[in-house]
Structure 1
Amino acid sequence: MSSSSTSRDSFHSRIGFVLAAAGSAIGLGNIWGFPTQAANNGGGAFLFVYLIVTLLLALPALYAEVYIGNQAQKNPVGALAQACGDRFKKIGHCAGIIGLVGAIMMLSFYTIVVGRMLAHALSALLELFGYIDIATWLSTSSTLRNIIFTPIFIVLGAGIIHQGVHAWY
């Protein structure tokens, strides 16, 4: 297949890639969990161990993933199957599927979290306009609120992805 007939999305700048990779590697879990862990586990000592583990484990794993994906020019399942060679292709395929399942499970958690964040943001706006009862319901944890706002976030996210994400920097 010629390169003129296939168009692949890519990052248009190095800073865009670095910011996306950092956001993916850091994640909301670290942003929320870090202050709590630092406060509960000795602050500076925890920070030292955290940075060492990040440098020794997370950074090499990120570079390996980027390299494998760049060389294979395939989805994660196909890239890992190709990286494992013909002899271990099935193991690479299974590893790729396990990685995707893990990502989907993490994403399902984040959809609920962001749905809550959406409800709280809307709560503040409604409170400004005097809709106190609805604002209180939105800011109070409830299963019904989560059932409503999680799909709203999913639809909004799918709409953004469908339209395409373009860098502004």
Structure 2
Amino acid sequence: MLMQTKKTYTVQEATRKLEHYCAYQERCHQEVRKKLESLHMIPEAIDVIMVHLLEHNFLNEERFAKTFVSGKFRIKAWGRRRLTLELKKKDIGKVNINQALAEIENTEYIEVFNTLAEKKVNLITEPNIYKKKKKLIDYLLYRGWETHLVYEKAKELLG
């Protein structure tokens, strides 16, 4: 009968591993804590490593929030509501969320929204105008765009 042994890490090994993990891509505290738990680190060791990562600037929630918002907005075209929701799921504080959202220029925000809506409306093949309008609205709301913007745009594009 073979015993299944779990690899264990010293605090130094785990710290180096997590430094690399954080340097590779911005991480939030929650992700790092989960990673440490998956390495079977004890709570005291997790705290020591978290403090080290914060002190050496491997971990920074403000920077994470700004990077997250910038990436998801520019690449996935998410609206402010979805961005806020996703950051809250990652336990990011209200101040950091608001600072990150403030980095999006209003003109760019509206431009991205208009481009996304116009592109989507042309891709929907639904012949029934009401169903087409509903599909557009559902799509934009799912992406986290504000309700008033979505309904105004749907009315403008599809009457």
TM-score in terms of structure 1 length = 0.23
Give the number of the structure whose residues are more often helix, by fraction. Answer: 1
- TM-score normalised by length of structure 2: 0.24
